[in-house]
Amino acid sequence: MPDADADARDLHPEPARRSAHFTASFVDEVGVEITYYAWTVEHPKAVVQIAHGLGEHGRRYEALARDLNAAGYSVYVADQRGHGATGLAQHGGDRSRLGRLGVGGLQATVDDIRQLGVEIAREHPEVPLVLLGHSWGSLMVQILVNSPALVHYDAVVLSGTAYRMPGHMDGGDLTRKHRPAGARSGNGFEWLSRDVEAQQRAASDELMFPAEVLKLFGVLDGLRLFGRPAKRLAADRPLLILAGDDDTLGGQRSTLKLAEAYRRRSRLSDVTVRVYPDARHEVFNETNRDEVVADLVAWLDERVGGSA
């Protein structure tokens, strides 16, 4: 029999949500001006706050933000200390100094993520807030969610992440595994994605630079990236972990170890893991990005998408 409800949906499709994009800033607790970008929709299901990785910047997430807008989610992402517009302002426009975090170092950068969350929660008091961290951003998100004195995040997503202990997280040369045999034939960004166009976009981006932790942060801040999930976190906070099994930072073994720690040590009751075969570090820029985005949207819809 014909599906009358389906026919009605075809005749009266859900109207597209209007979206808006803006750039703004806030001054952090030690006086650094943090630039951030927002892609917002009317009556969002939730707001997704993104913390980007080392050596990149917030505008690289515009395509993901647009996809999430189409699914009914607003998105905020800052250029973190030492990166993008924030880093250029810190260092007088000197691109050679990008990556230097400035006064307060890593802890101040973690605090900036929290402070942006407070700003978002103030602007959207009745809307669920999701924190998505990628790569270095995901390591700082792990540090952040270990602390109880935070703005409340309703859900957490980690991508391109790792279990933050020796033997499970590669802090060395992340490019070496995927570097072509001929030294002159590579672009230096093969480790990010199998998608050659994505590699080339990264290579031509003047605001991107090598993710060399010890060179940029020094030994002390480099060591502060290590740690493990805290005991007995908020058990009802959903967690999604997205990873490529060919990611040089962590990969499948490290990702599964991290998920197990959140289940057993932190006692989280809702931990979901998606490991994509042959995918590399940036799953949102991979050849199967449509699959990854669809998985993210489906997970968001199930956990926080029912309020709009």
Q: Known catalytic residues?
A: 135, 247, 281
**Residue 27 pairs with which residues in a beta bridge?**
33
Exposed / middle / buried, residue 93 (Cβ in 10 Å: 0-12, 13-18, 19+) = exposed
CB of 87 within 8 A of CB of 6? no
Beta strands in 150-258 (DSSP E): 155-159, 239-244
Q: Can you tell me which residue has the tokens 């001006």?
A: 33
CA–CA distance, 265 with 103 (Å, rounded to integer): 33
Burial class (CB in 10 A: 0-12, 13-18, 19+), 230: middle
Pairing state between β 239-244 and 271-276: parallel
CA distance 115 to 100: 20
